[in-house]
């Protein structure tokens, strides 16, 4: 086993990963995975096996990056740690701390508005505009990861984020290829 693989996985994890990787399966094409990609906001309350997360991370790690520096860091959060993180995020939001989001250029703002109408309107959650409490409850689901059993936090240096954020897509595509993981959008 290459030294870098040993540092990342350890011998036993690597052997398990190889066994699993050699199991017969129908592998979807990248184009079919991308065509079928969609955001999910309802999850089963079943734990995701650690080995599966390790395999998906190994694939995402193969993403090309500027000067091969692979500046992304992914933190996988499950179980009690995920509950504590969700609770902390919700407390912060309820205390008035809002996440920093990149501004959307004026010519693209209608996409956010259109999506909001779709998500919260009659075809989605069907929340009336005047029902602020219900709308806030729905918005807060973002901060508990839509009740998913796994949270993934991606972070990297801001100066490289525009160039090297592809690892998130690789993680999502690899997860779907294994037929197990869906990403909330």
pLDDT tens per residue, range 94-106: 999 988 877 889 9
pLDDT digits (tens, 9 = 90+) for 44-64: 888 888 888 888 888 777 777
| Residue-level pLDDT at 25 | 56
Where do the domains of the chain lie, and which CATH numbers do they carry? Answer: 3-100+143-177 (3.40.109.10)
HEC assignment per residue over 33-86: HHHCCCCCCCCCCCCCCHHHHHHHHHHHCCCCCHHHCCCCEEEEEEHHHHHHHH
pTM over 0.75: no
Closest C-alpha among 139, 148, 98 to residue 119: 139
Q: Name the band, by pLDDT with cuts 50, 70 and 90, for residue 185.
A: very low
Closest C-alpha among 150, 41, 144, 156 to residue 85: 144
């Amino acid at each position: 086993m290459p030294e870098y693989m040993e540092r990342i996985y350890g011998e036993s994890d690597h052997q398990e990963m190889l066994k699993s990787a050699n199991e017969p399966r129908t592998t979807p094409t990248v184009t079919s995975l991308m065509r079928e990609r969609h955001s999910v906001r309802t999850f089963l309350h079943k734990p995701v096996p650690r080995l599966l997360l390790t395999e998906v991370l190994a694939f995402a790690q193969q993403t090309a990056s500027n000067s091969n520096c692979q500046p992304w860091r992914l933190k996988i959060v499950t179980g009690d740690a995920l509950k504590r993180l969700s609770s902390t995020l919700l407390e912060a939001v309820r205390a008035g701390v809002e996440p920093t989001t990149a501004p959307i250029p004026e010519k693209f703002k209608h996409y956010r508005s259109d999506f909001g109408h779709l998500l919260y309107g009659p075809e989605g959650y069907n929340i009336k505009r005047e029902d602020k409490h219900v709308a806030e409850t729905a918005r807060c689901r973002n901060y508990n990861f839509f009740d998913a059993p796994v949270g993934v936090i991606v972070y990297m240096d801001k100066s490289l984020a525009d160039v090297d954020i592809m690892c998130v897509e690789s993680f999502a595509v690899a997860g779907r290829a294994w037929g197990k993981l869906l990403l909330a959008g």
